[in-house]
Chain A
Amino acid sequence: MKAQTLRRIAPYLFLFPSLLLLVAFVYAPAVENMVYSLFSWSSVRTDSRFVGFDNYRELFANPIFWRSLVNNVLYAVISIVFQVFFALVLAAVLVAGVFGPLLRNLFRTAFFLPSILPVTVVGLLWQLIYQPTIGLIDQVLWATGLQGLSHVWLGEEATVMISVILVSQWQWTGYMIVLFMVAIQAIPNDLYEALRMEGANRIQQFFHITMPGVRESTLILAIITIFGAFKVFDIVWVMTAGGPNNASEVLGTHMYRSAFRNDVSGYAAAVATVIFFITLAVGIIQIRLQRQD
């Protein structure tokens, strides 16, 4: 009898620890966060006051919030260009056998390497590279007589965001190339063979076989890229912490600063809720698009 009961509940015992941890440390906090966003409170004061949607009103009236959102959008757009379009083309060239296998593996490894670096190292390294005068970028500009183009890359409002975004592209484009290579290699070779018989060149092969062949993977990778662009925090925090003058603020850093620096937790929770709904929308679009196929 007892063995019988054990056998019936055993399957749930296997799942229980995972579900418990997920509920306690992922789902419950996400819900709590939404509740917090309706209150005015801070860690210093113990009292919290229900304020309805006041935090959201304050948020939508705050220019820094809008600036952060615009920066996230910019981040997404540039990431799509580099990590989807650019990566797809480079992956197609690598798979097509334009270079020998040795050279192909060398390029693949070289492109992939930045993605294994910890974000702190990437951020600090590029801070040095962007240093005015002594950094690598300015050294290259001076060496090529282009010193007129020199900027305080991370210190000027006009250049800071783009500089940080490009570091992200440096780190992740190669990673995406490898993912695209896998997707392209899954396309049956005889499709290319057939088109080659008809005298199609590599560019025609790319548009007629590679592009349609990786449509689905491209969609998923694009969604992952957009998802990443709206939850970005670490690289920005390491390199600029959102400065100068909030010029490189993104939603993640805006939330973090509100919560742990300015101690307006209700407001921070409202920002986090906005992040939640944006990423949720992206996730739903992904599921919809995948169903259509």
Chain B
Amino acid sequence: MEKLTRLTETAPERASRYGTLALFWVFAIVSIYPMIWLTFSSFKSSSEMFGATWALPQRWRWENYVAAWDYGVSQYLISSVIVTVASTTIIVALASAAAYALVALKLRGRAYLYLAILGGSILPPEVSLLPLFRTVTALGIYNTYWALIVPYVAFGLPFTTFLIRAYMVKIPLELAEAAEMDGAGPFWTFWNIYLPLSRPILASAALISAMRVWNEFIFALTFVESESVKTITIGMMSFANALRGDWAVMMAGMVISVLPIFVVFLVLQRQFIGGLTQGAVK
């Protein structure tokens, strides 16, 4: 088919195809060159970085990475991993339980309950930030991992519930009814029927939640202050401020902070894009 259209292509059509192709290459380069530049620069010396912007590093300076790692990036990474794993686990657990109840159980006011959960997704975090800051302080969790995990879970629930519910709706209700006939309780049905059947969407939901938590900014900026609890997004800001001038080391730190997401993305690209497009939310 493709071949056929190309054979019958007229000269102006061919010109416009090559023009389009050239344009797309330009866009693609604009899109990824900054990342390539970041990676190469992170291996240079600072003077080399600006003097020979376009060149490959004369020598691959891994010591930049060692310096960045020792400078605190390792601690930020640990905090990010802890907060992300904890938040994601709790979000997916609570959201799948809620989605299951909304789909398979007898509820009074089901539509309103669903709306009560979904409504949270239209509230920007900025609107709740100031009171939330006081709540976090009052609970005595300010400047701990919990100050991030608890709000992340609360703000992550609406979208994740939406995502999992949309999937669970497609599981035939007869399965649950048959189990109930055999005397199974709702917890048994949830654990043995709905969770196993929802595995693909649970994976996507976990992936999306994890990425959002990993990249979250405003709560991480506001609810913790010690370097030992800062996550990587905020940690990188103090890191960069401390290293103004030592550009190459700073860029090495930036590469380290991107690497985990990058690896996850490359390995799980299909689920990544699939999951994101199901919900169409940034």
Which residues of A does B touch, CB under 8 Å?
6-7, 10-12, 14-15, 17-19, 21-22, 24-30, 32-33, 36, 90, 93, 97-100, 106-107, 109-114, 116-121, 124-126, 128-129, 134, 136, 139, 170, 172, 174-175, 178-179, 182, 217, 220-221, 224, 227-228, 230-231, 233-234, 237-238, 251-252, 255-256, 259-260, 265, 268-269, 272-273, 275-276, 279-280, 283
Contacts and interface: CB of A to CB of B under 8 A. Distances in A.
Contacts of B214: 118
A98 B101 contact: no
Interface in B93-119: 94-95, 97-98, 100-102, 105-107, 113, 116-117, 119
Nearest to B240: A124
A113 B35 contact: yes
Given A24-B154, A136-B37, A256-B218, 8 more contacts: A14-B100, A17-B97, A93-B20, A111-B27, A116-B262, A119-B217, A120-B237, A273-B127
26 contacts: A14-B105, A18-B94, A25-B128, A26-B154, A29-B135, A30-B128, A32-B131, A36-B131, A93-B24, A99-B24, A107-B27, A116-B261, A118-B257, A121-B236, A124-B240, A125-B254, A126-B34, A136-B53, A178-B273, A224-B280, A227-B122, A237-B221, A238-B217, A252-B218, A268-B130, A283-B122
A18 B157 contact: yes
Contacts, number: 240
B277 to A, nearest CB: 4
The main secondary structure of chain A at its interface with chain B is helix
A134 B46 CA distance: 11
Contacts of B187: 10
B282 interface: yes
Closest 6 CB pairs of A and B: A14-B101, A29-B128, A25-B154, A11-B105, A231-B124, A29-B131
